[in-house]
Amino acid sequence: MLNSLIFIALPYAALALLLLVTPYRFLSNRLTWTAYSTQFLERKVLYWGINPWHYGILPILLAHILGFAFPGIFKPFLGNPETLLGVESVLLGLGIFAVLGVLLLLLRRVNSGMLKRVTFSSDWLILYLLLFQAGTGIYIGYFMRWGSQWYLHTAVPYLWSIVSFQPQIDYVADLPLVFKLHAACAFLIVAVLPFTKLVHMLYLPFDFLKDPPLLYRWRSK
Amino acid sequence: MDVRAQIVMVFNLDKCIGCHTCSISCKNIWTDRKGAEYMWWNNVETKPGVGYPRQWEDQERFKGGWVVDGKKLKLKAMGKGPTLANMFFQPNMPKIEDYYEPFDFDYGNLAGAKEAKDQPVAEAFSQISGKKIEEIQGGPNWDDDLSGSQIYAAKDLNLKDKKVIESYDSMFMQYLPRICNHCLNPACVASCPSRALYKRGEDGIVLVDQEVCKGWRFCTSACPYKKVYFNWNTGKAEKCIFCYPRVETGQCNACAHSCVGRIRYVGVLLYDADAVEGAALKGDTELVEAHRDVILDPRDPEVCRLAKENGISDNWLEAAVASPVYALVKEFRIALPLHPEFRTVPMAYYIPSLSPVLSTWGDTHKLLEHGMIPALETLRVPIGYLASLLSAGNEEVIEETLKKLIAIRVQMRAENLGLPADPALLADAGLDEAAAKRLYRLFTVAGYNERNVIPPQQREEQDPQRRKQEAGFGILKKTRGGGK
């Protein structure tokens, strides 16, 4: 029952919300499409929170995505125990970095009076979800060793079965509870993403890298 | 040559009385909203002073504008790679304290007070946190009229000799009204990773597309004039829009329209877009001249032909000929760009103010020459100070301008009193009697339509359906975006 909820109901609900709500929000209310930066109001603690968080979590997120997309490449690459140890250590370090960052971001909202009026329930929600997600991630990374390798053999085929609409939860059904919570939280984050300021991560500013510095807009041209 | 049109404002600092009427009319129309309380798209600051936000001219701190790197211009703050790396925390962004914490007063405190010996006061509270403010720490014109000059005016980067403001005999002040300069080489536009900022091709107004802006905040520090603001409520950047809904219909900007001293002039300039980067690359002392070289003569038939090729309409060309801005900036060369050394090629120009008329008695008497009007070298406002503000340190440019302004005064005073004028003085300043008359008229009795020559844009002819779909500021939940 729990397995079906976490590994079938949740991912499909999350996917549906992401795919339907995101374009709706983009078309109907793009004025709210921003990271809602609070640097203007409080910057001292932010510096120590936001940088570790982003620089820690982005490589980890990328590793999850690349492992999902190209398992064939990473299986032999991580077959070498020394490489595996190196990758695990780096990712664990980054994970701790990220958790400390998100913890600071959370405490900062608690303590700063200036941030009261720019903090909404959705901000608390994603901060708690992200803290939980990063925390369980570290626990798994430390206590369920060689995750970067077994991830490729369990979660990745399961995720592929989800996106190809032939869900096979056998791959992940017998894993410990903490892994299931980690997966459930991941799906929750995807589900709330289009409703919160997390949408900022869906826009990657790469156009400006190739554009000329000045941008003109003509009504007539 | 790529001829384009730009709508430009000129400020006659000599006539600014620092009444802040412009700021108030702008505020009432555009920034009287949550998140925008602290924004003053138009502000007036006292010089010498630190201005708003405090010490905005200090580019070592805020890293605004451009610098010359070999034979190319680059943003002073950072290149594109570092922009991506600094996306999460923007190191140069000014903080709320650099402006001031916006406040209001709790009048309920007064209305609900019981009868007593001492009446209560309306307590100040923060418009951000909502908490009571015991002691207000700042405001948009906190150092108005040199108040606290030892703390504020002494920190003015343009003031080389701090002793000047320590004594009543040498102290001076003047006002500096500022709006967005709608630069030809805007650093804010170049710094935006989302490409939300853009310059309108038809009239050169620089705007932030509120739908595209993702709140990365690089523009707030890249603008060396600190005229792009971060709305803490919407999480996006905002700036002076040159009152485009008014200007498009041929009306004058709210700030210029409400100006009590009638110090502002609005008009069209034609410029060569191909020459802009070259002008910004010039050395500091040549910058003002380079600015003027970018501006084209609307009476030149070749310029007119190329302008028409670029789609500039006849009524815009007529407006360019009648433009008071062209007369002040290029023809008579008395309006100067503010801090041209920031290299954004700003399109707001300032006529420097003259010094106060001095007494005929005592020490200052010896300064007088030409009747009541002081000689150039002995002016109370140091030429070096004006040069630091308006000509990137080139004192010759300031001298030329002041000479003209003084010559016009002497000429018109003589005429008024029926005294013989000294024709050499005008000629020495590079003017003739007709020019003096024209400028005198612009400075004094020129009416609304002479000071503001704004051609309507006939947007109704350009894709009317799209025009109707585009809404103004602050309207949430629009159905579809403007943009392209």
What are B142's two structure tokens? Answer: 């906190």
Burial degree of B464 (CB within 10 A; 0-12, 13-18, 19+): exposed
Q: Is the pLDDT of residue B464 over 70?
A: no
Chain A CB contacts of B311 below 8 Å: 220-221
When mean pLDDT is compared across A80-89, A149-158, B139-148, B470-479, the lowest value belongs to B470-479
Closest alpha carbon within chain A to B100:
A41
When mean pLDDT is compared across B102-111, B171-180, B320-329, B469-478, the lowest value belongs to B469-478
- Close Cβ partners of B314 (under 8 Å, ≥ 6 residues apart): B308
* pLDDT band of B474, cuts 50, 70, 90: very low
Q: Is the pLDDT of residue A125 over 60?
A: yes
Chain A CB contacts of B193 below 8 Å: 205, 208
- The pLDDT score that the predictor gives to residue B149 is 82
Q: Are strands B3-12 and B348-351 parallel, antiparallel or unpaired?
A: parallel
Q: Is the pLDDT of residue B42 over 90?
A: yes
Give percent of chain B with pLDDT exceeding 90: 71
* Tens-place pLDDT, residues B260-277: 999 999 999 999 999 999
Residue A51: which of B84, B88, B201 has the nearest Cβ?
B88
* pLDDT band of A76, cuts 50, 70, 90: confident
Higher pLDDT, residue B228 or B165: B228
Q: CB-based contact (8 Å) between A204 and chain B?
A: no
* Tens-place pLDDT, residues B127-140: 999 999 999 999 99
* pLDDT band of B483, cuts 50, 70, 90: very low
Q: CB-based contact (8 Å) between A219 and chain B?
A: yes
| Residue B289 to chain A, least CA–CA distance (Å) | 23
Q: Which of residues 396-425 of B touch A (CB under 8 A)?
A: none
Q: Is the pLDDT of residue A13 over 50?
A: yes
A34 to B130: CB separation less than 8 angstroms, yes or no: no
Q: CB-based contact (8 Å) between B80 and chain A?
A: yes
Higher pLDDT, residue B375 or A145: A145
* Tens-place pLDDT, residues B361-386: 555 555 555 565 667 767 788 889 99
Residues B280-291: what's their mean pLDDT?
95
* Tens-place pLDDT, residues B299-339: 999 999 999 999 898 999 999 999 999 999 999 999 999 99
When mean pLDDT is compared across A46-55, A123-132, A208-217, the lowest value belongs to A208-217
DSSP letter for B65, please: S
Mean pLDDT of chain B: 89
Q: Is the pLDDT of residue B163 over 90?
A: no
Residue B95: which of A43, A203, A205 has the nearest Cβ?
A43
Q: CB-based contact (8 Å) between A116 and chain B?
A: yes
B201 to A32: CB separation less than 8 angstroms, yes or no: no
- The pLDDT score that the predictor gives to residue B371 is 60
A33 to B211: CB separation less than 8 angstroms, yes or no: yes
Q: Give the orientation angle of helix A177-192 with respect to helix A121-143, to 10 degrees.
A: 150
Helices (H), ranges, B330-444: 383-390, 395-417, 423-428, 433-443
As assigned by CATH, the class of the B13-100+148-247 domain is: alpha beta
| Residue B322 to chain A, least CA–CA distance (Å) | 25
A211 to B195: CB separation less than 8 angstroms, yes or no: yes
Q: CB-based contact (8 Å) between A210 and chain B?
A: no
Residue B201: which of A117, A207, A221 has the nearest Cβ?
A221
Q: Within 13 Å, how many C-alpha atoms sit on residue A28's CB side?
A: 8
Give percent of chain A with pLDDT exceeding 70: 99
* pLDDT band of B392, cuts 50, 70, 90: very high
Q: Is the pLDDT of residue B76 over 90?
A: yes
- The pLDDT score that the predictor gives to residue B424 is 86
Q: Is the pLDDT of residue A38 over 80?
A: yes
Chain B CB contacts of A35 below 8 Å: 214-216, 235
List domains and CATH numbers for chain A: 2-204 (1.20.950.20)
B477 to A35: CB separation less than 8 angstroms, yes or no: no
> Which among A30, A34, A40, A97 is the top mutation candidate for probing chain B, defined by the most B β-carbons within 10 Å of its own β-carbon?
A40
* Tens-place pLDDT, residues A92-111: 999 999 999 999 999 999 98
B214 to A221: CB separation less than 8 angstroms, yes or no: no
Rg for chain B, CA atoms, rounded: 23
| Residue B15 to chain A, least CA–CA distance (Å) | 35
| Residue B280 to chain A, least CA–CA distance (Å) | 14
pTM: 0.91
- The pLDDT score that the predictor gives to residue B460 is 57
Residues B335-362: what's their mean pLDDT?
85
CA A163 to chain centre: 18
Helices (H), ranges, chain A: 2-4, 10-28, 44-69, 71-77, 81-111, 121-143, 147-153, 155-163, 170-173, 177-192, 207-210
| Residue A107 to chain B, least CA–CA distance (Å) | 17
Q: CB-based contact (8 Å) between B25 and chain A?
A: no
Chain B CB contacts of A216 below 8 Å: 198-201
- The pLDDT score that the predictor gives to residue B150 is 84
Rounded to 5°, angle at Cα B229 from B217 and A215: 65
What are B294's two structure tokens? Answer: 């970018």
Residues A115-130: what's their mean pLDDT?
93
Q: Is the pLDDT of residue B28 over 90?
A: yes
| Residue A35 to chain B, least CA–CA distance (Å) | 6
B195 to A200: CB separation less than 8 angstroms, yes or no: no
Q: CB-based contact (8 Å) between A44 and chain B?
A: no
Q: Is the pLDDT of residue B223 over 90?
A: yes
Q: How many contacts (CB atoms, under 8 Å) link A and B?
A: 140
- The pLDDT score that the predictor gives to residue B360 is 53
Residue B234: which of A27, A31, A211 has the nearest Cβ?
A31
Closest alpha carbon within chain A to B95:
A40
Residues A124-131: what's their mean pLDDT?
96
Closest alpha carbon within chain B to A218:
B201
Q: Give the orientation angle of helix A121-143 with respect to helix A81-111, to 10 degrees.
A: 150
- The pLDDT score that the predictor gives to residue B398 is 94
- The pLDDT score that the predictor gives to residue B480 is 37
Chain B CB contacts of A33 below 8 Å: 211, 214
- The pLDDT score that the predictor gives to residue A102 is 96
Question: What is the four-CA torsion angle of B86, B87, B90, B95, rounded to 10 degrees?
Answer: -170
